[in-house]
Amino acid sequence: GRKIYEEFTTVVILGEQVRVTDHVWRDFLDHLHHGRVETRHLKMLRTLLLKRQTADSPPTHYSNTMSPPYPHPDPIETVDTHINFSAQPWADASLITPRHAVRTRWNQAATQKWCTDSETRLFICPSLNTIKGSPLTLEERYALATLPKNGGKRDKGLPEFIHLAIGMKVMVTNNLQTDLDITNGVRGVITDIILSPDEPPLEGGPIVTLKNLPECVLVKLTRTRA
């Protein structure tokens, strides 16, 4: 590795951040990083709330038994808005959450909604655990089930079931092929699902639980150099 490193003759230092193009949001992130959020930043954040406080609403920042240590911010002049989350642009809104359980349930609900609205069949693909290519015995399955859950390391974070459907939105979460721009954060859509030749004939119905892993899942990425 060192020999390859010493072959480099040119060093490029990137001094400009280009991923965030919103200057107001960038300013907020800079102040948040250093713990110096100002009143103007709070006002900006409150304009993004879906259910904002009206001018006549009582303050909700302090308890009834304590007085604020500093003046209360000016009330936000707005009116209650009735938002239809099934209409655009909220129908395709993305959820940002640090909670893995919330993300998983949100993705499942979004996939089921897509299948219902588009009348597309939903495939439930169970995980397949093997040891040296052979299925687990009853004793091995019991041993796996009783292993402690140490942050997902025992199964590398893989879920027991994966929901798949044609037209379903997906996202790359690892840098798979950087030279082709197939990197973390790239989005795409499933265009086809090739089932295993050993898969039994599919039964009718909108939801099918597969017996075998699919042979291939074709995804069209929104951007790639391929």
- DSSP characters over 177-195: BGGGTB-TT-EEEEEEEE-
Q: Which two tokens stand for residue 56?
A: 């006549």
The pairing of beta strand 207-209 with beta strand 122-126: parallel
Q: Report whether 170 contacts 188 (CB < 8 A).
A: yes
Top pLDDT among 178 and 96 is at 178
Q: For residues 188 and 116, what is the distance between their CA atoms, to the nearest angstrom? A: 20
With CA atoms as reference, report the closest residue to 75 among 99, 105, 52. 52
Kindly report the average pLDDT of the chain as a whole number.
80
Residues whose CB falls within 8 Å of the CB of residue 67, separated by 6 or more in sequence, listed in order: none
pLDDT of residue 37: 94
Sheet containing strand 161-164, edge to edge, reads: 161-164, 122-126, 207-209
Look up residue 133 and give its DSSP letter: T
Read off φ and ψ for residue 219, nearest 5 degrees. -125, 130
Q: Which two tokens stand for residue 9?
A: 């003759």
Decide if pLDDT at 34 tops 80: yes
Return the ∠ at Cα 31 (arms to 30 and 32), rounded to 5°: 90
pLDDT of residue 219: 95
Decide if pLDDT at 172 tops 80: yes
With CA atoms as reference, report the closest residue to 60 among 48, 70, 75. 75
Q: What digits encode the pLDDT tens for the residues 43-91?
A: 999 888 776 444 444 444 433 333 333 344 444 444 445 777 777 877 7
β-pair partners for 217: 193
Top pLDDT among 18 and 109 is at 109
Prediction pTM value: 0.62
Q: For residues 120 and 179, what is the distance between their CA atoms, to the nearest angstrom? A: 34
